[in-house]
Amino acid sequence: MGLEAKISVLPYYEIKHPEISRIRVFPTPEEAAQAAAEEIIGVVRVNPQAAITYATGDTVIPLYENLARAVKEGRVDFSETSGFHLDEYYPCGPDINEYPHGFVAYLRQRVFTPLGIKNANEMNGLAPDPEAEAKRYDGLLSAKPIEIAILGIGPWSAETQTGCHIAFNESGTPFSEKVHVQTLDPVTLMRDRQERGQDSPERALTQGVANILEARRIFLLAYGEKKGQSLREALFGEIGPQRPASALRLQGQKVTLFIDEAAASQFGKL
Task: Enumerate binding residues for ligand GLP (CB under 6 A).
Answer: 55-59, 86-87, 151-152, 154, 167-168
> What span, in angstroms and rounded, lies between the C-alpha atoms of 105 and 44?
24
40 vs 151, which CB is nearer to ligand GLP?
Answer: 151
Q: Do residues 227 and 261 lie in contact, with contact meaning Cβ atoms separated by under 8 Å?
A: no
As measured in angstroms, the least distance from the Cβ of 156 to ligand GLP is: 12
68 vs 204, which CB is nearer to ligand GLP?
Answer: 204
DSSP, residue by residue, 92-136: --S-TTT-TT-HHHHHIIIIITTTT-SEEE---TT-S-HHHHHHH
Query: How many CB atoms sit inside 10 A of residue 261's CB?
Result: 16
Q: Do residues 111 and 64 lie in contact, with contact meaning Cβ atoms separated by under 8 Å?
A: yes
56 vs 229, which CB is nearer to ligand GLP?
Answer: 56
- Phi, psi (degrees; rounded to nearest 5) at 261: -65, -30
As measured in angstroms, the least distance from the Cβ of 218 to ligand GLP is: 12
Contacts of residue 183, defined as CB under 8 A and 6 or more positions apart, other chains included, come to 170, 202, 203
As measured in angstroms, the least distance from the Cβ of 58 to ligand GLP is: 4
Largest CA distance in the chain: 60
76 vs 151, which CB is nearer to ligand GLP?
Answer: 151
As measured in angstroms, the least distance from the Cβ of 7 to ligand GLP is: 30
As measured in angstroms, the least distance from the Cβ of 5 to ligand GLP is: 35
DSSP one-letter code for 240: B
60 vs 76, which CB is nearer to ligand GLP?
Answer: 60
